[in-house]
């Protein structure tokens, strides 16, 4: 069944639902009943966490209110006509009735055009307002959509502060973010409804969008354009943190992967570098440098595996390494045949990538 509601995960528990104040939740739920929200994971367009999403939510409420008003008026006339129409039609014919009919038809056509024009103007002005959030001081993040995950690159002007990660975007609250979106294969759509609308991610056509998150929290986003077999498993996590927490995280992510802590992890690193893993993944500080799959330098600091498909736990990681095709059929990652002690060592190594 469709789960709808104001959902915001608290840090540390992205699968938990956490609400807003009860009044906001009530009004949101009322609209959810009208089918105005997306179903599924914790993400809600009508629970804005930044100025851009607020504009979009405002437009949604206005359009919904106008739609409801039109509906009520039409149903009112329908009921009136059902109750009185046939009697009038029989009792009053002639030029007076014809004139009145003309006035009514012209009036309703005028009203319809007026409502449509109002919607057009509202839509246009919201689009213009969203375009005015451009900011030269913004943090630039490039997100590259591909089947079926997101590469995330922090494009710091200082080359030593450039950072690549995957499927998890962290931002400081209150800072403007310049989001550059690109695709490596087919058309995707980047959608983090709590912060902005859907952004088409089209091959060969980069787009720039600005957003800002004002409320710290863990938000959820996903691909919103059908892009193949695993379109439904192309999610990401968006974490907004106080600036100092973000900076601490960022500095940690800039470091190369920690050296294996013990002999088991050391063996795991050898497995990683001698088996299929190294062909597709990067771990900074080791010879693994491919960008076919997600960068794993700080894998165990992330909340999810396989682009928001699984929580990042030992059990899920084991299942994913051994047989990704069962979890996400069609994904590029092949199954891995490992001896039990190789698998244990590889898990120890990957879990040490903090």
* Binder among 188, 233, 298, 328 for ligand CUA (CB under 6 A): 188
Q: How many residues belong to the site for ligand CUA (CB under 6 A)?
A: 9
Residue selected from 42, 48, 51, 145 as contacting ligand CUA according to rule CB under 6 A: 145
186 or 273, CB closer to ligand CUA?
186
Residue 221 interacting with ligand CUA (CB under 6 A): no
Distance CA(149)–CA(289), nearest Å, equals: 18
Decide: helix, strand or coil at residue 179. Answer: strand
CB of 344 to ligand CUA, least distance (A): 34
- By beta-carbon proximity to ligand CUA, the closer residue of 145 and 352 is 145
**Measured from the CB of residue 197, what is the shortest distance to ligand CUA in angstroms?**
16
Name the one range near ligand CUA by CB under 6 A: 34-42, 219-227, 275-283, 296-304. 219-227
Pick 188 or 281: Cβ nearer ligand CUA: 188
Q: How far is the CB of 222 from ligand CUA (least distance, A)?
A: 8
Check binding of 283 to ligand CUA (CB under 6 A): no
Contact flag: residue 225 with ligand CUA (CB under 6 A): yes
Q: What are phi and psi of 180, to 5 degrees?
A: -100, 120
Question: Residue 45 or residue 267: which is nearer to ligand CUA going by CB?
Answer: 45
Stretch that binds ligand CUA, among 221-229, 236-244, 260-268, 337-345 (CB under 6 A): 221-229
Assess contact for 200 and 189: CB atoms under 8 A. yes
Whole-number Cα distances in Å, 205 to 199, 200, 210:
12, 9, 17
234: contact with ligand CUA by CB under 6 A: yes
Is residue 168 within a helix (H) or strand (E), and if so which, with residue range? strand 168-172
Q: Is 143 in the site for ligand CUA (CB under 6 A)?
A: no
Query: What is the C-alpha to C-alpha distance for residues 130 and 113, in angstroms, rounded to an integer?
Result: 26
User: Using CB under 6 A, which of 227, 237, 283, 333 touches ligand CUA?
Assistant: 227
Distance CA 129, CA 51 (A): 10
CB nearer to ligand CUA: pick between 110 and 228? 228
Q: Which of 25/184 has CB closer to ligand CUA?
A: 184
231 touches ligand CUA (CB under 6 A): yes
Both tokens of residue 32?
């959810």
> Could you give the strand order of the β-sheet that contains 235-241, starting from the edge strand earlier in sequence?
168-172, 235-241, 217-223, 188-191, 199-201
Sheet containing 163-166: give its strands across: 163-166, 149-154, 139-146, 177-183, 207-211
Q: Which residues contact 260 (CB under 8 A, 6 or more apart)?
A: 266, 268, 269, 348, 349, 352
Nearer to ligand CUA (CB atom), residue 37 or residue 181: 181
Q: Where do we find the tokens 């009185």?
A: 84
Residue from 232, 276, 270 nearest 346 by CA = 270
Q: Report the residue from 223, 257, 307, 346 that binds ligand CUA according to the rule CB under 6 A.
A: 223
3-class secondary structure, 221: strand
Residue 222 near residue 38 (C-beta atoms within 8 A): no
For residues 41 and 58, which CB has a smaller minimum distance to ligand CUA in the complex? 41
For position 184 contacting ligand CUA by CB under 6 A, the verdict is no
Closest separation in Å from C-beta 148 to ligand CUA = 6
Residues that bind ligand CUA (CB under 6 A): 145, 148, 188, 223, 225-227, 231, 234
């Amino acid at each position: 069944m469709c789960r709808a509601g104001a959902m915001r995960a608290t840090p540390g528990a992205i699968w938990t639902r956490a609400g807003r104040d009860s009044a906001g939740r009530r009004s949101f739920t009322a609209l959810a009943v009208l089918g105005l929200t997306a179903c599924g994971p914790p993400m809600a367009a009508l629970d804005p966490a930044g100025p851009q999403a607020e504009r979009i939510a405002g437009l949604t409420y206005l359009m919904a209110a106008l739609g409801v008003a039109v509906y009520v008026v039409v149903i009112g006339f329908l009921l009136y006509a059902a109750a009185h129409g046939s009697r009038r039609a029989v009792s009053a014919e002639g030029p007076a009735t014809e004139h009145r009919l003309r006035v009514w038809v012209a009036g309703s056509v005028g009203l319809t055009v007026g409502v449509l024009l109002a919607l057009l103007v509202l839509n246009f002005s919201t689009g213009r307002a969203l375009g005015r959030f451009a900011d030269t001081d913004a943090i630039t993040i490039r997100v590259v959509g591909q089947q079926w995950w997101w590469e995330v690159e922090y494009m710091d002007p200082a080359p030593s502060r450039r950072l690549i990660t995957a499927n998890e975007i962290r931002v400081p609250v209150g800072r403007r973010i310049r989001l550059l979106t690109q695709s490596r294969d087919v058309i995707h759509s980047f959608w983090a409804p709590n912060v902005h609308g859907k952004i088409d991610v089209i091959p060969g056509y980069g787009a720039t969008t600005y957003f800002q998150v004002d409320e710290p929290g863990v938000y959820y986003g996903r691909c919103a354009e059908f892009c193949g077999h695993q379109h439904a498993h192309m999610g990401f996590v968006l974490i907004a943190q106080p600036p100092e927490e973000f900076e601490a995280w960022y500095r940690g992510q800039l470091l190369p992967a920690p050296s294996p802590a013990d002999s088991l992890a050391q063996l795991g690193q050898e497995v990683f570098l001698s088996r299929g893993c190294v062909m597709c993944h990067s771990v900074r500080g080791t010879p693994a440098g491919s960008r076919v799959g997600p960068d794993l330098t700080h894998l165990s600091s992330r909340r999810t595996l396989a682009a928001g498909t699984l929580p990042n736990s030992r059990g899920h990681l084991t299942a994913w390494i051994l047989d990704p095709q069962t979890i996400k059929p069609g994904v590029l990652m092949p199954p891995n045949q490992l001896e039990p002690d190789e698998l244990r060592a590889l898990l120890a190594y990957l879990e040490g990538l903090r």
